[in-house]
Structures are given as structure tokens and as C-alpha cells.
């Protein structure tokens, strides 16, 4: 099974979110429909796929890294946020 680690950025670039899913289309639809508590107030957003991994354990490790201070710093540098 393939897991996607993804990064959401609100249109006004004040809010960000990192998550992972094995069904990226479904998960992005849930975010867009306001069904995810953490992102329901984002309004419009864009997303990027950060990584693709084929093991849920590795997906959790990658998500944890991207949510860490080092990962967030790297996101800001790479995506100029």
C-alpha cells in the first residue's frame, strides 16, 4: 500500500497542516469539505505531496519529522512560506 505525506497551505498562507493518507483524493476532499477539525477554517488551500512511502510505520515517522521544528523550518525554506 502506498502512503502519501502531504502539506496543506491556506490561501492566505497563515495556516499549514501536514498529514498522511493512503487515499489522497479522499483525504483532500475531506479537508475541502470542512470535515477535518484541524483544517475546517482554512478556507481555500493548496497542497503538495512531500513523500510517498509504502509502509505505514515509515509514513508515521515521516509525518512526525515534517511536523517537527526541523521539518517545519525545511518546509518554510523549500516553499517560501
Q: 8: closest CA among 68, 65, 67, 73?
A: 67
pLDDT, mean of residues 3-13: 93
CB–CB of 11/31 below 8 Å? no
Query: Is a pLDDT exceeding 60 seen at residue 81?
Result: no
Exposed (0-12), middle (13-18) or buried (19+): which is 62, by Cβ within 10 Å? buried
Chain centre distance of CA 38: 11
pLDDT number for residue 12: 86
What are the structural domains, with CATH classification, of the chain? 3-79 (3.40.1440)
Section 4-23 average pLDDT: 94
Separate counts of helices (H) and strands (E) for the chain: 3, 3
Whether the pLDDT of residue 79 is over 90: the answer is no
pLDDT (tens digit per residue) in 16-68: 999 999 999 999 999 999 999 999 999 899 999 999 999 999 999 999 999 99
Measured between its terminal Cα atoms, the distance across the chain in Å is 31
pTM of the predicted model as reported, rounded to 2 decimal places: 0.91
Amino acid at each position: 500500500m502506498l502512503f502519501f505525506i502531504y502539506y496543506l497551505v491556506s490561501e492566505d498562507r497563515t495556516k499549514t497542516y501536514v498529514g498522511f493518507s493512503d487515499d489522497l483524493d479522499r483525504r483532500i476532499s475531506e479537508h475541502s469539505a470542512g470535515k477535518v477539525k484541524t483544517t475546517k477554517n482554512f478556507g481555500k488551500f493548496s497542497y503538495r505531496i512531500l513523500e510517498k512511502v509504502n509502509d505505514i510505520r515509515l509514513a508515521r515517522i515521516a509525518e512526525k519529522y515534517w511536523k517537527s521544528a526541523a521539518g517545519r523550518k525545511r518546509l518554510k525554506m523549500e516553499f517560501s512560506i
